[in-house]
C-alpha cells in the first residue's frame, strides 16, 4: 500500500470513529418513544373543566397509601386496573389546552396527567428499583423525555409538562404535588387533584412534605435549616435568594420555631440527600 493510500485509509477510519461517537447525539439514536392516550377526534375534545378524574381517584385510593407509597406489584398484576389507567390517560387526551377552561382545572389536569403518566411508565418497567434505571442520559429510552401523552395540541413528555407548563403557571407548590416515583419526592396524594379542592390539596401536600425529616430539619440553636434538594434544583421558583426561599416555605413548616427561623432571613441552608429508591409499598417485588 502506498503512503497516499495509507493516509486515505487512516482518514476513513478516523471518520468512521467520529460517526460512531456522534451517533448517540443524533435523532436516529434518540430513545424509543412510548405514547400513551389516544388521538381524540375534534368532536370529542373538551375543556379541561369537563374532564372527570374520578377513575384516577379510585385507582389512587386502591393502590396508594397515606404516605404516598404505591403497591405496584398488585396494580401490575390486576389487568382490569392497568386497563383502567390506560382508559384514564385516553380520557385525558380529550383535554384541549386551547379551549376555554379555568386555571384550577388546567392545574389539576396537568398534575394528574404527570402523576398518571409516571405510574404508567413505572408499571411498564416493573419490577424495578428506581426510575433512574429508565432515564438514559445519552443513549436509549429516557422516561422523562420519551414517554408521551397524546393531546389535541401535540404529544407532551413529563419534562415538557413540568418545565414548560406547570412551572410556568407560577405556583411553586407544584413541586410538592408532582411525583417522580421516588422516596425523595413528595408523597403521591392518594386522591386525584380537582379544581374545587386544588388549593387545599396543594397546601396539605406541601405541609406533609416538610413534616418528613428526610426532607426537612431545623437546628434552631445553630440557625441552620436542612432541606430537600428540590429547593436547590428549582431554587428560582421559590425566590431569588436563600432568605426568600425560606420565607416561602415557612408557612408549611411543622412547628413555630422552624417557621420563625425560616422567616428570620438569618438561617444557613444545607441540602439533604435525595432518595431515588422506588416509592413502593413495603412488601412489593424489588427485583431488577
Residue 30 pLDDT > 60: no
By DSSP bridging, strand 216-219 and strand 34-36 are: unpaired
- Rounded Cα gap, residues 103 and 97, in angstroms: 11
Residue 214 pLDDT > 80: yes
21 CB-contact burial (10 Å; exposed 0-12 / middle 13-18 / buried 19+): exposed
Q: What mean pLDDT comes out for the span 157-163?
A: 98
Task: Count the residues in the chain.
Answer: 288
Q: Which cell is 14 given?
A: 478516523
- Rounded Cα gap, residues 135 and 145, in angstroms: 8
For the stretch 228-262, pLDDT in tens is: 999 999 999 999 999 999 999 999 999 999 999 99
For the stretch 116-137, pLDDT in tens is: 999 999 999 999 999 999 999 8
- Rounded Cα gap, residues 121 and 89, in angstroms: 12
Q: Which cell is 234 given?
A: 428549582
Q: Which cell is 31 given?
A: 430513545
Q: Which cell is 92 given?
A: 385525558
37 φ/ψ sector (left φ>0, alpha ψ -120 to 50, else beta): left
Closest CA to 280 of 177, 214, 185: 185
pLDDT at 218: 98
Q: What mean pLDDT comes out for the span 172-182?
A: 98
Straight-line distance from the first to the last Cα atom of the chain, in angstroms, rounded to the nearest whole number: 52
Q: What mean pLDDT comes out for the span 196-203?
A: 98
- Rounded Cα gap, residues 71 and 286, in angstroms: 11
Closest CA to 165 of 211, 106, 118, 210: 106
Q: How far is CA 139 from the centre of its chain?
A: 21
pTM above 0.75, yes or no: yes
Q: Which residue has the cell 410538592?
A: 176
* Strand intervals (E) in the chain: 34-36, 147-151, 154-157, 216-219, 224-227, 268-271
Q: What mean pLDDT comes out for the span 223-228?
A: 98
Closest CA to 110 of 43, 24, 27, 198: 198
Amino acid at each position: 500500500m502506498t503512503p497516499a493510500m495509507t493516509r486515505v485509509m487512516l482518514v476513513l477510519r478516523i471518520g468512521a470513529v467520529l460517526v460512531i461517537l456522534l451517533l448517540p447525539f443524533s435523532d436516529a439514536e434518540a430513545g424509543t418513544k412510548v405514547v400513551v392516550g389516544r388521538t381524540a377526534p375534534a368532536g370529542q375534545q373538551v375543556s379541561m373543566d369537563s374532564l372527570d378524574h374520578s377513575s384516577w381517584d379510585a385507582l389512587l385510593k386502591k393502590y396508594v397509601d397515606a404516605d404516598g407509597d404505591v403497591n405496584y406489584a398488585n396494580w401490575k398484576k390486576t389487568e382490569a386496573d392497568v386497563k383502567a389507567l390506560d382508559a384514564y390517560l385516553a380520557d385525558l387526551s380529550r383535554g384541549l389546552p386551547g379551549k376555554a377552561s379555568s386555571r384550577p382545572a388546567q392545574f389539576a389536569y396537568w398534575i394528574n396527567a404527570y402523576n398518571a403518566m409516571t405510574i404508567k411508565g413505572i408499571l411498564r418497567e416493573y419490577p424495578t428499583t428506581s426510575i433512574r434505571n429508565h432515564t438514559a442520559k445519552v443513549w436509549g429510552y429516557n422516561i422523562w423525555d420519551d414517554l408521551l401523552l397524546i393531546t389535541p395540541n401535540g404529544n407532551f413528555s413529563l419534562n415538557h409538562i413540568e418545565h414548560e407548563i406547570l412551572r410556568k403557571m407560577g405556583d411553586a407548590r407544584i413541586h410538592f404535588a408532582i411525583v417522580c416515583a421516588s422516596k425523595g419526592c413528595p408523597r403521591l396524594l392518594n386522591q386525584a387533584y380537582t379544581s374545587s379542592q386544588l388549593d387545599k390539596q396543594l397546601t396539605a401536600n406541601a405541609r406533609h412534605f416538610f413534616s418528613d425529616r428526610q426532607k426537612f430539619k431545623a437546628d434552631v440553636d445553630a440557625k441552620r435549616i436542612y432541606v430537600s434538594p428540590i429547593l436547590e434544583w428549582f431554587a428560582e421558583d421559590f425566590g431569588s435568594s436563600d432568605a426568600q426561599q425560606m420565607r416561602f416555605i415557612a408557612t408549611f413548616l411543622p412547628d413555630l420555631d422552624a417557621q420563625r427561623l425560616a422567616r428570620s432571613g438569618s438561617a444557613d441552608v444545607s441540602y439533604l440527600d435525595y432518595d431515588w429508591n422506588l416509592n413502593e409499598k413495603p412488601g412489593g417485588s424489588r427485583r431488577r
